[in-house]
């Protein structure tokens, strides 16, 4: 417990420059603030508690430059011993550069300079410079301090060409309307401009919403009774060309709705 200054005897009431009240001098009529247990015990208890919790051992000497300021040392020690958490404020200690590089310390904090000078971790600068390591790296467009998700790409090393990299990106485009009963073939522009830069593709076909129990299927994975696929796709410098086999699996009323995205073309390409 604690007794507020304003609740002690012969003090100035809170207000003005002294929002918590103030002690009073004796004007000659015994109206000054008393020096007694009520007015001063809390201060002694506070310093005794601070010293005890800090681990600082009192040397029994008066506080000065020669003997030391142990109460001040006790204050600093108590502050440092208070750990910061998600629910409690406290002090944190800065990590050394070697601790940042090793990644072994979980209590000390980082600064921008420490991160920038770190080795063995991926930084934004390293991403932008494409120099994380010699085999693969992450390349990212940096907008202020944020990464643009559509620009993230994983790069792979060219076979037999050490140190040279080809950046591979992923792109997904919607097929859009495709009544697979009335229309056997559709084309979708891929926007790459060079068919040789597209390294692989995958076409996922969605059934009509009303086709209960149906799931997305690969265009070229449904096999006809004679062993030929029920669909397929090719690409040129401009378009993907998707086709379904007449009277095959996709030539069905489960795949004839319009105003409906029929599925997706997912492909990898060289930047």
Is residue 220 included in any domain, yes or no? yes
Residue 14 belongs to a domain = yes
Alpha-helix runs per DSSP H in the chain: 37-54, 70-80, 97-102, 112-116, 124-129
Residue 85 placed within a domain: no
Q: Is the pLDDT of residue 148 over 60?
A: no
pTM, rounded to two decimals: 0.43
Structure letter (DSSP) for residue 109 = B
More confident residue, 193 or 127: 193
User: What's the token pair of residue 185?
Assistant: 């073939």
Q: Of 55, 80, 105, which closes a domain?
A: 80
How far apart are alpha carbons 117 and 182 in whole angstroms? 62
Model pLDDT for residues 65-83, shown as the tens digit of each residue: 999 999 999 999 988 887 7
Asked if 209 and 242 sit in the same domain, the reply is yes
Q: What is d(CA 64, CA 70) in angstroms, rounded to the nearest whole number?
A: 9
Same domain, 49 and 107: no
Span 38-58, pLDDT tens digits: 989 999 999 999 999 999 999
Q: Taking residues 134-163, what's their average pLDDT?
A: 43
176 in any annotated domain: yes
63 domain-assigned:
yes
**DSSP structure class, residue 157:** E
Range of the domain at 242: 171-270
Let me know whether 258 and 218 are in one domain.
yes
| Residues in CB range of 99: below 8 A, 6 or more apart | 105, 108
Number of structural domains the chain divides into:
4
- Look up residue 95 and give its DSSP letter: P
| 177/258 same-domain check | yes
Candidates 199, 176, 197; CA nearest to 187 is 176
Q: What's the pLDDT score for residue 260? A: 85
pLDDT of residue 257 exceeding 60: yes
In this structure, the answer to whether residues 115 and 135 fall within a common structural domain is no
- Are residues 207 and 154 both part of a single domain? no
Per-residue pLDDT, 199: 93
């Amino acid at each position: 417990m604690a007794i507020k200054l304003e609740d002690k005897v012969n003090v100035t009431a809170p207000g003005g420059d002294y929002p918590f009240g103030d002690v009073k001098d004796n004007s000659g009529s015994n109206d000054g603030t008393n020096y007694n247990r009520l007015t001063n015990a809390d201060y002694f208890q506070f310093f005794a508690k601070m010293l005890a919790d800090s681990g600082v051992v009192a040397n029994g000497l008066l506080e000065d430059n020669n003997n030391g300021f142990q109460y001040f040392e006790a204050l600093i020690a108590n502050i440092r011993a208070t750990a910061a958490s998600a629910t409690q404020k406290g002090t944190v200690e800065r990590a050394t550069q070697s601790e940042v590089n090793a990644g072994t310390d979980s209590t000390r904090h980082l600064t921008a300079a420490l991160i920038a000078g770190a080795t063995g971790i991926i930084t934004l600068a390293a991403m932008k410079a494409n120099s994380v390591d010699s085999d693969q790296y992450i390349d990212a467009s940096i907008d202020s301090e944020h990464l643009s998700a559509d620009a993230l790409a994983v790069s792979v090393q060219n076979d037999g060409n050490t140190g040279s990299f080809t950046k591979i990106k992923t792109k997904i485009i919607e097929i859009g309307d495709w009544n697979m009963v009335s229309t056997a073939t559709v084309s979708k522009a891929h926007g790459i401009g060079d068919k040789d830069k597209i390294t692989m593709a995958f076409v996922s076909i969605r059934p009509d919403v009303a086709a209960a129990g149906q799931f997305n299927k690969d265009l070229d994975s449904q096999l006809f009774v004679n062993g030929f696929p029920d669909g397929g796709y090719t690409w040129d410098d401009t378009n993907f060309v998707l086709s379904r086999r007449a009277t095959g699996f996709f030539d069905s009323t489960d795949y004839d709705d319009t105003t409906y995205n029929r599925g997706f073309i997912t492909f990898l390409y060289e930047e």
